[in-house]
A and B are shown apart, each in its own frame.
Chain A
Amino acid sequence: MIHFHDISKTFGTTTVVQNLNLTIDRGEFCVLIGPSGSGKSTILKMINRMVEHSTGEILFAGEGIRTFAPEVLRRRIGYAIQSVGLFPHWTVEDNIATVPRLLKWDAARIDARITALLRLLNLDNARFRNAYPHQLSGGQQQRVGVARALAADPDVLLMDEPFGALDPITRDSLQAEMTRIHAETGKTIVFVTHDMDEALRLATRVVVLNAGSIVQAASPRDLLSNPANDFVRAFLGKDDYGLKLLSVQLVGERMRIVDIPCGPETVRPDDSLRVALSRMLAMKANRIAVFGADGTRDGTVFLEDLVP
């Protein structure tokens, strides 16, 4: 879907990105992660030409990005930033309708799309459609920002640290939303963050960057199992590395199909083992019951099974 061929970027005398080669496939949730100054935001912004690459070529759906006028390219790509940047003088409805109106969609189609997006982002139509940004909380504003980015049904969604400014609870719920949206819409998402937990939770592929080059690109599980070097290991976090490993493994993979009495807490098969461990510790128990979405008992996870 998106191909970076030998991309470099220089600002004045500083080289921010060098010899980058990266392919982002259709339907991927690709997370770019790295310390400050690693070039991750720059790389993201090169996709929609907010930053122009110095050398090399970037292909978007097979065509060079410079063959389009910038506005045309950007209208095909969704763009959500940390500070959201909602237009304060427009209602939620007008904000979301921005790109569809630029693309001259007819009113009925825009109307229906807004309704669908509000539902997708779990925003109550009656309450929020005609509200102004200043009447919304930070989390609600960011949801509108994501809806706005998705409005014209772009194939690719670019997100630049969108949840960085939110409190942990809101961040957690929005991360869950993103996972769900990705599953439901199958869009290609390129996501920048400096938070490893967020990356591991959301990504289908994590690209670790340092000083403008790719250090390792792998699925979360592979990254944790086989970190390429000490840098990646440090970035993964030495102290809770083991817990992170648990967070990318699911209950369903380790549970035993037995039905014995357990404490009040439960987990689902698609919860992570980290959640299971945390709840077991909270109960001061060495096992926890697993219940499926339909409410039936699927099995039990045992503490001793967590260590492979």
Chain B
Amino acid sequence: MTKAPSATPFERAAMGRFVVGLAAFGLLLVALPYSSPLFAALFPQLDRPLYQQQTFATLVGAHLWLVAVASLMATVIGVGAGIFVTRPMGREFRGLVETLSAMGQTFPPVAVLALTVPIIGFGFWPAFVALALYGVLPISGNTISGLESVSPAAREAAEGIGMTQRQRLMQVELPLVAPIVLAGIRTSVTINIGTAAIASTVGAVSLGSPIIIGLNGNNTAYIVQGAVLVAGLAIVVDLGFNVIATRFLRWRTQ
């Protein structure tokens, strides 16, 4: 095997931005628990300028956990559905899956979140189900269109070499569609981070908790703390995806 080519300037820049973002976010996370005097000065009318029901680190962890687990489930279901529907056996179901995907993306995620409560109740699980369900849609849509666009030449060559269907899928088709599937996962995760912030309204613990409690109790300091953290988290995660995406770009132009 030849040695992998070194990183392009694109990739280095993306990695640089990600590292900077991660460091800044880390700094924020560390500094925030000590920022009580700052918030007291900004909002003198509040008794409790600093959110203390959970540590900020706990909130970040809970938020990430919710998003990660839901996105993982969404990826498994979404990619699985995409593969199934582009095989001869599942082709009949393709219209249905695509309709579901298209229609589902019209539903506002916050409404989907709210609707899980009558069925499942409050807490972590309705949020998980809502995020996973909603996250399936961009991923399955991208998987389907990606697999459909794999050049018939590549498929034919793989068959001609003597690969089984499974080998073709694993070694040729999936690697080729990885960039576009990743784009779907990225979209899904970005939406999920936002929806998870609202998930505290259905009883899940996340970075939205200080925001919602702040809104209910007129505590602007809580709101700012939660908002700054979740915005920072979203940006850092996006920068991370960007690093992966630029890597794929390099491989693609090869």
Q: Do chains A and B touch in the complex (CB under 8 A)?
A: no
Which residues of B does A touch, CB under 8 Å? none
